[in-house]
């Protein structure tokens, strides 16, 4: 969170240190920048984990930075088998049930949606600090190296490269998600395909970490990071397509949590979560 006397950066006023329009902040007198990405030359850390940069007392001339592309080549998406294995292991070792007060029983938690406490192990959680997430990424990297050694070796030991949401520094250290700290852990929502394999995940930010210009839901993705990968926008199935009887109706929702909640209350298992759209009540959604 940005303290009183500080403002968030934007596209019109990007960070003076890294040139990016998000996550960072600056003092209203333009004398100090809080950069969430670059520590070199900083005076220390702020309360939210940002790097404090103090500027000389010279007028600040706004120059729109050039958009920097990823330094390395685009990393192909890992196979569905590997993505499913990594996301399942992530949820197993870091389930939402590890954060009952924040993600399960608290305000806007899973229980408030009507889900049961036992469902909390079906969702994952990312720790609030970048250091904890780096540790989690390292554990998952070791997991891939042991289970898919050929794939890990093809990426110089970085087995999580190619899995959406993961990235790798020049030093070789792997990370998951953004290089910033949060006030609360992040809920991880799996998106399964028609065969029940987890193809991607969405993140739901806690209300304590949302600014007025931020969305609560976003994809666990890393296309702009070094050795990162995009998740795309896959749809979520609550059923196996091969078990769908001919002519059966399929309910379409917006959001995997909504789909899971409907299954819980109405016992309708044939639900698909798709991107936002509208359709006439005379249209009959179906799966070809």
Q: Which of 121-130, 188-197, 206-215, 264-273 has the lowest mean pLDDT?
A: 264-273
- Whether the per-residue pLDDT at 288 is higher than 50: the answer is no
Helical packing angle, 130-147 and 80-93, nearest 10°:
130
Q: Virtual CA dihedral for 42, 43, 45, 50, nearest 10 degrees? A: -40
Q: 121-141, pLDDT tens digit by residue?
A: 999 999 999 999 999 999 999
Going by C-alpha positions, the residue among 59, 51, 44, 58 that lies closest to residue 25 is 51
Give the residue extent of every domain in the chain.
1-68, 80-234, 237-273
pLDDT at 7 over 50: yes
Q: List, in sequence order, every residue forming a beta bridge with 236; answer none if it has no partner.
A: 273
54 versus 287: the higher-pLDDT residue is: 54
pLDDT in tens, 252-262: 666 776 667 66
- Closest alpha carbon to 174 in 155, 188, 161: 161
What does the pLDDT read at residue 72? 47
DSSP state of 261: H
pLDDT tens-place string over residues 213-229: 778 899 999 998 989 99
pLDDT band at 73 (very low <50, low <70, confident <90, very high): low
Closest by CA to 237, choosing from 262, 259, 216, is 259
Query: In the predicted model, what is the mean pLDDT of the chain?
Result: 82
Instruction: Name the pairing type of β-strands 51-54 and 124-126.
Output: unpaired
Given a cut of 90, is residue 147 above it in pLDDT?
A: yes
pTM above 0.85, yes or no: no
Q: Among 3.40.50.720, 2.40.50.140, 2.160.10.10, 3.90.980.10, what is the CATH number of 80-234?
A: 3.90.980.10
Q: What percent of the chain has pLDDT over 70?
A: 76
| pLDDT for position 41 | 81
> What pLDDT, in 10s, does the model give residues 157-190?
999 999 999 999 988 999 999 999 999 999 999 9
pLDDT, residue 6, reads 84
């Amino acid at each position: 969170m940005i303290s009183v006397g500080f403002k968030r950066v934007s596209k019109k006023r990007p960070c003076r240190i890294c040139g990016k329009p998000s996550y960072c902040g600056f003092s209203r007198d333009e004398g100090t920048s809080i950069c969430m990405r670059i520590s070199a030359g900083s005076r220390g850390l702020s309360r939210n984990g940002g790097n404090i940069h103090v500027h000389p007392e010279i007028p600040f001339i706004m120059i729109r930075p050039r958009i920097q592309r990823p330094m390395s080549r685009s990393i192909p998406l890992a196979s569905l088998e590997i993505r499913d294995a990594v996301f399942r292991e992530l949820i197993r070792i870091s389930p939402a049930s590890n954060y009952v007060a924040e993600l399960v029983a608290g305000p806007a938690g899973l229980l408030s949606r009507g889900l049961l406490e036992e469902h909390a192990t079906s969702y994952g959680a990312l720790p609030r600090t970048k250091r904890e997430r780096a540790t989690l990424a390292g554990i998952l990297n070791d997991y891939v190296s042991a289970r898919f050694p050929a794939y890990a070796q093809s990426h110089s030991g970085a087995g999580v490269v190619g899995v959406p949401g993961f990235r790798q520094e020049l030093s070789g250290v792997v990370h998951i998600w953004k290089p910033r700290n949060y006030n609360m852990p992040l809920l991880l929502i799996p998106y399964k395909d028609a065969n029940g394999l987890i193809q991607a995940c969405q993140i739901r930010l806690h209300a304590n970490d949302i600014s007025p210009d931020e969305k609560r839901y976003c994809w666990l993705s890393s296309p702009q990071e070094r050795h990162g990968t995009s998740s795309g926008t896959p749809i979520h199935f609550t059923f196996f397509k091969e078990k769908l009887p001919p002519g059966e109706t399929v309910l379409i929702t917006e959001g995997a949590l909504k789909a899971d909640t409907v299954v819980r209350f109405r016992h309708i298992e044939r639900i698909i979560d798709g991107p936002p759209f509208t359709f006439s009540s005379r249209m009959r959604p179906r799966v070809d």
